[in-house]
Each structure stands twice: as C-alpha cells, then as structure tokens.
Amino acid sequence: MARNLRPIVATSVAAALLTGIAYSRLHTHPGLRATPSHVSVSADGADHLVTILRARYHLPLDSAGIHIAGVPSSSLRLEDRPQGAVALYFRTPVIPGHTHVAITDHSSSISVPITLTPNDTDSFGDGTPDFLRLHSATDRDAFRRWFTALADHAADAAPGQLPPEIVDCASLLRYAYREALRQHDDRWYAQFAAADMPNLPSIEQWSYPNTPLGLGLFRTRPGPYLPSDASDDTFAQFADAKTLISSNTFWVSRDLSAARPGDLIFFRLLETDSQYHSMVISGTHSEWVVYHTGPIDKHSGEMRRVLLADLLRHPDPRWRPTPSNPNFLGVYRWNILREE
C-alpha cells in the first residue's frame, strides 16, 4: 500500500512546486497591458491621454517603476490612477505620421503604436491652425522671452551689426517672431558673438520650420484656417504690418496695463496715407517699447528702445499710446498665444 502512495505523493509535491512557481511568477512577473493597445491621436501639439497601463492579474502598478522610450521624455507624463492603474499622456508633435512608445517595468515590456492624424481645427476662427498655437504656459512663456530678447538684441546692435533684413517695424517683428520659434541649439547660437544671446529654453511643441506649413509662417489673408491653406500661398515668410495685425494677431485692449512682454502696440497714421506702425512691448514689467523707425526722409532709419512712460509724453500726440489718440489702435497679441 505504501508503494502505491509514492506516485501520489510525488505528484502532489510536483503540483505544489509548480503552483508555488506559478504563484511566484504571478507576483514577480505580472506583465503589462495597455488599453487601448493601438492609439490614434491628433498631431496638434496638445497633451493627450493615449492609454491606461495596468499590470495583469489585477496587481497594482506604480508609475515610479515604469520606463518609457521611443519619443522624447519631455513630451510624456505619467499619472497614477485608482486601483493600481497608470495613465500615459503624450504631447504630440504637429506633423502627422506614425510612432510608438516602448513601455517597460521591472519584469516586462510592451510597445504601443501611435498614429498621428492630421488636425485642421481652428478653434478661434482667426486663420491660425491649432497645431501652431502654443498649448502650454511653459511654451508661451518661452516664446515671449525669446521674442523680446531678440527685439532687445536688435536694439542693442552696434552700427552695421543689425540683421540686414530689419529695415522697418514689420521686418523687426518678422525677424524676432521667426527666430523665437527656432530650435536654439549650438548651430543657431554660432551666428552670434559669444555671450550675445541669453541661454533660454526653446519652445517644445514645435520649431520653425518643422510644421505642416513648412517655411510658411505668416498668414497673408483673412478667414479661418482651411486644409488647402497648407498647400497654397496662404502662409508665407513675408507679411507687412497691416497683414500682421489683421491676420496674425488679435486685439487685447487700448489700455496699456493689459500689455505683457512680447505683446505689440500698433498705430495707424490717419493723417497721412494710413501707414501702420508697430512696437514690441519689452522689459520685465512691460515698461519698454522696442521698434524700428523705418526710413526717415533720406535716412534708412534706426532701432530705438523707449520707456513707455516717455512715449506717453511724446511731443507728437499722434505717437502717444492713449485711448484718446485715434491713431493708437491698441495692444495686440500673437495668435499662437491665444489660450483655450
């Protein structure tokens, strides 16, 4: 009888061992699953919830133990959820295509393919597509700091050192706007003398000219954004002051207290040929304006930086930025800085 028990005992021991191994694997190698496992999101530069991560067998998952590769880490955000789940957020690029994220914990890894779909939404109907708008406060602040730094740098330039393209007020705006949207890497800094430009963070959502519009940067005619605008001449590298104010910026106020660094003030000389003129609000407390005069008589004009307090006392009342001055159009802000 004892001999007959041996197979049963051996079988029971083996079963127990296998059960123990399975239990151990269950707890030390839970595996990962993503819901959904294949994602389609808009290529609009915004922050998107792309998937929910869970460990198999309903075991808790902690974001601290998760590593993600495949896309820039600065575009990712993990958020712990109830019942041991982790939400993965992804700030998408603005150019459609395909990518994937490789997600790893201490014991396993999975890959989640992501399809980046075109997005032609223009939430404000102002002609600027949402993929160009800077969705994060960090990016909007980075743009403002770069835009004013470039305008100030132009005002400080020694004779003969001003970028050749800056010949009037509109060209100053185009230059500072375009260069503020660049990726400010070593190659970009190399064009300036040592210590000429500050060390500031670049915007992360996109960099010029890496958008569906390519080299096109300024909208050249009114109207909401349409898909065909990406392939015709609606966006260009050039826009005069009138086009900048009408199709690339929005009105904020005629009260200077509403101005922030990087905003613009516009004038329209009604007494002459309705010429438009622009100035950049600068300074930590929005206390300066920077501008190019444009040609003066036979002179090519010059860069100037003036305290707003002094501009308010300008000897020619046409240049005073006050609500009572019909030539003063008000404070304007770039469309890409509109907040949802």
Q: Which residue in the block uniquely carries the two structure tokens 């190399």?
A: 190
Number of domains in the chain: 2
Residue 147's pLDDT is what? Answer: 98
List Cα–Cα distances, 38 to 69, 82, 114, 116, 120, in angstroms.
16, 23, 6, 11, 22
Q: Which residue in the block uniquely carries the two structure tokens 């399975």?
A: 22
Residues 147 and 88 in one domain: no
Residues 212 and 281 in one domain: yes
C-alpha 333/C-alpha 280 separation (Å) is 10
Pairing of the two strands 47-55 and 85-91: antiparallel
Residues 199 and 230 in one domain: yes
Give me the count of residues in the chain: 340
12 occurs within a structural domain: no
At 249, give phi and psi (nearest 5°): -135, 170
Range of the domain at 145: 137-337
Residue 182: pLDDT over 50: yes
Scored b (16 or more CB within 10 A) or e, 285-324 reads ebebbbbbebeeeeeebebebeebeebeeeeeebbbbeee
23 occurs within a structural domain: no
| Domain limit, last residue, from 64, 87, 117 | 117
pTM above 0.75? yes
15 occurs within a structural domain: no
166 occurs within a structural domain: yes
Q: Is the dihedral of CA 242, 248, 251, 255 positive or negative?
A: negative
Lowest mean pLDDT among 8-12, 207-211, 218-222, 292-296: 8-12
Residues 110 and 145 in one domain: no
Contact status, residue 332 vs residue 173, Cβ threshold 8 Å: no
In the chain the first and final C-alpha atoms are separated, in Å, by 82
Residues 198 and 82 in one domain: no
Residues 252 and 168 in one domain: yes
| Domain limit, last residue, from 66, 88, 117 | 117
Residues 196 and 62 in one domain: no
C-alpha 8/C-alpha 10 separation (Å) is 5
Residue 1: pLDDT over 50: no
Residues 222 and 259 in one domain: yes
Let me know the angle formed at the C-alpha of 87 by 81 and 93, rounded to the nearest 5 degrees: 155
| Domain limit, last residue, from 117, 147, 180 | 117
79 occurs within a structural domain: yes
Residues 239 and 152 in one domain: yes
Residue 272: pLDDT over 60: yes
Residues 42 and 146 in one domain: no
Task: Name the 3-class secondary structure at 201.
Answer: coil
The DSSP 8-state label assigned to residue 228 in this structure reads G
Residue 26's pLDDT is what? Answer: 34
129 occurs within a structural domain: no
Nearest CA among 140, 119, 337 for reference residue 225? 119
pLDDT above 70 as % of the chain: 90
Q: What is the arithmetic mean of pLDDT over 60-88?
A: 90
Residue 171 corresponds to which tokens in the numbers above?
Answer: 């060209």
153 occurs within a structural domain: yes
List Cα–Cα distances, 151 to 121, 232, 330, in angstroms.
31, 30, 19
Is the preceding omega at residue 224 within 30 degrees of 0, hence cis? no
Lowest mean pLDDT among 5-9, 42-46, 148-152, 325-329: 5-9
Q: Using CA atoms in the order 325, 331, 335, 338, what is the torsion angle rounded to 10 degrees?
A: -130
Residues 216 and 331 in one domain: yes
Scored b (16 or more CB within 10 A) or e, 192-226 reads eeeeebeeeebbbbbbbeebbbeebbbbbeeeebe
Residues 110 and 168 in one domain: no
1 occurs within a structural domain: no
Residue 120 corresponds to which tokens in the numbers above?
Answer: 């032609």
C-alpha 45/C-alpha 92 separation (Å) is 5
Residue 62's pLDDT is what? Answer: 84
Q: What digits encode the pLDDT tens for the residues 21-53?
A: 333 333 334 588 999 999 999 999 999 999 999
C-alpha 111/C-alpha 337 separation (Å) is 35
CATH assignment at residue 101: 2.60.40.10
